[in-house]
Amino acid sequence: MPGERPVRDASGMDAPDLSRLLRTLSLPTFGLALAVAVLTTYAPVLLGETTDSGAAIGLAIGGEGLFALFLPVLVGTISDRTHSRLGRRLPYAVFAAPVLALPLVLLPFSSSYAATVGLVSLFYVGYFVYYPPYQALFAELVPPSHHGRAMGIQGVARGLGLGVALVGGGLLLSLWAPLPFLLGAAAVLVTTVALVRGVPHGSAALADPALPGPGVFRLLRERRDLRAFAVANGLWEFSFMGLRTFIVLYVVQGLGRSVALASAVIGVVAVSYVLAAAASGRLADRFGLLRVMRGATWVYGIGLLLAAGMTTVAPLLVALPVAALAGAVLMTLPYGLVMQLTPAGAEGAISGLFNLSRAVGIVAGPIVVGAAIDLAGPLFPSTHGYGAMWVAIGIPIVLSLGLFHLWEQPAPEPEAARTRASLDDLALSA
């Protein structure tokens, strides 16, 4: 009605402005997901032309986990202490976007294994310089009432980037080998420009507090809830990476079915991810992020353990969509949870912790799950040992349920916040 004020969130932003901000913040997730998927899917094709060693190819592409063990915490913490006219986070995106794009442009023209490995390594350096500060923008700029929705929109962007890379990239590769890599580079650059232009610089600079928050290692010493989150996030990523690594082998070698069927199973998971990401954010904002995550964890964990007893495709295809939807919720919302635990001024450090805990799961998941298949394989003769995979990836999910109660307790007031409050009190009394 005329004269009515626009509806505002508790943050003071108009609803349309907040929706626009969420979409803008999520754009680089699309570009980065597309670029990473292009690299991990099609770079092995290029590496296969320079080496016959599968281990050498895996080592080159698997460098993500190694870089993620140290770069995210370092860069995220430094960004907490950065001051510029673009704020604390955007300068890293501006710097890292070309560092990401250049290797993608050059990769198709690389003629040696060493050069290809160097370009892949440079890509991962750029990725982990870009991502932790960028991700910290969500914690800084999105009000708590929209944390779930923000993660949902970001999850949809990630799923779309992956889908475009896998579907469109294959078509482009058949036309001209460099095309999917050029697409990935362009996506990173265009979405970064959109981020810098779309995020109000006043809002970005708004996140320059008088005092930076505590470092990540101090937070881990002082905050049991954050230690629990790091463990749980590592367990979740361990499970996801174990499943991603062995699901095709389970269908092909364990069940004796075709690669085409394995691709269809992966397609079900991919579609479920996008659908769950779109819905889970709104559900989390309405019913509580922790409640939605707990329910999804129960469904996903039980579903994985039940799959260990399945020896034919039919029951798997019935149960898989339900478990995939629950798993997709658990993949979408964790950063929304840690946003609620993040003290002011430490957004970059916590984003680094988030990526570090993921890296531990990425590195350990395939190794431990593979060992479980070898050791416990005789207990699952009907699937040639691959039924052990479901137990190995299901137990970590169930174990993570024991940590949820730690996030229901109010977090202790951060030292930086107490210091700032004391300074404010002194200023008022003066």
Write the CATH number for 31. 1.20.1250.20
Same domain membership, residue 254 and residue 193: no
Same domain membership, residue 193 and residue 162: yes
Identify the pLDDT of residue 248: 73
Q: Is residue 200 part of a domain?
A: yes
Q: Is residue 13 part of a domain?
A: no
Q: Which residue ranges of the chain lie beneath pLDDT 50?
A: 1-11, 202-210, 413-430
Query: CA triplet 371, 374, 375: central angle to 5 degrees?
Result: 85
Q: Is residue 213 part of a domain?
A: no
Same domain membership, residue 229 and residue 149: no
Identify the pLDDT of residue 429: 40
Q: Is residue 407 part of a domain?
A: yes
The 10 Å CB-count burial string (b at 16+, else e) for 199-233 is: beeeebeebebeebbbbbeebbeebebbbbbbbbb
Same domain membership, residue 155 and residue 257: no
Same domain membership, residue 171 and residue 317: no
| CA pair distance 351, 216, nearest whole angstrom | 9
The tokens describing 357, both together, are 């805990």
Same domain membership, residue 244 and residue 200: no
Q: With both helix axes pointing from N to C terminus, report the angle between 347-376 and 334-341 in degrees, rounded to the nearest 10.
A: 140
Same domain membership, residue 364 and residue 305: yes
| CA pair distance 264, 242, nearest whole angstrom | 19
Q: What is the DSSP letter of 257?
A: -
Same domain membership, residue 298 and residue 169: no
Same domain membership, residue 225 and residue 201: no
Q: How far is CA 252 from CA 111, 172, 291, 307, in A?
A: 33, 27, 37, 16
Identify the pLDDT of residue 430: 40
- Of 154, 174, 208, the residue at which a domain comes to its end is 208
- Of 157, 176, 208, the residue at which a domain comes to its end is 208
Query: CA triplet 148, 149, 155: central angle to 5 degrees?
Result: 90
- Say if CB 331 and CB 273 are below 8 A apart: yes
For residue 255, the enclosing domain spans 218-416
- Tell me the backbone φ, ψ of residue 84, rounded to 5 degrees: -160, 170
Q: What is the DSSP letter of 14?
A: B
| pLDDT, tens digit, 9 for 90 and up, residues 41-77 | 777 666 666 666 555 666 666 666 677 777 888 888 8
Nearby residues of 303 by Cβ (< 8 Å), 6 or more positions away = 319, 322, 323, 326, 394
- Of 172, 189, 208, the residue at which a domain comes to its end is 208
Same domain membership, residue 169 and residue 224: no
Identify the pLDDT of residue 428: 37
* Residue that is written with structure tokens 């964890």 in the block: 297
Full-model pTM? 0.75
Same domain membership, residue 373 and residue 224: yes
Query: CA triplet 144, 328, 300: central angle to 5 degrees?
Result: 110
Q: Is residue 298 part of a domain?
A: yes
Q: Is residue 4 part of a domain?
A: no
Q: Is residue 295 part of a domain?
A: yes
- How many domains is the chain partitioned into structurally? 2
Identify the pLDDT of residue 414: 46
CA-based R_g, the chain, Å: 22
385 closest CA partner among 393, 369, 373, 370: 373
Same domain membership, residue 243 and residue 152: no
Q: Is residue 10 part of a domain?
A: no
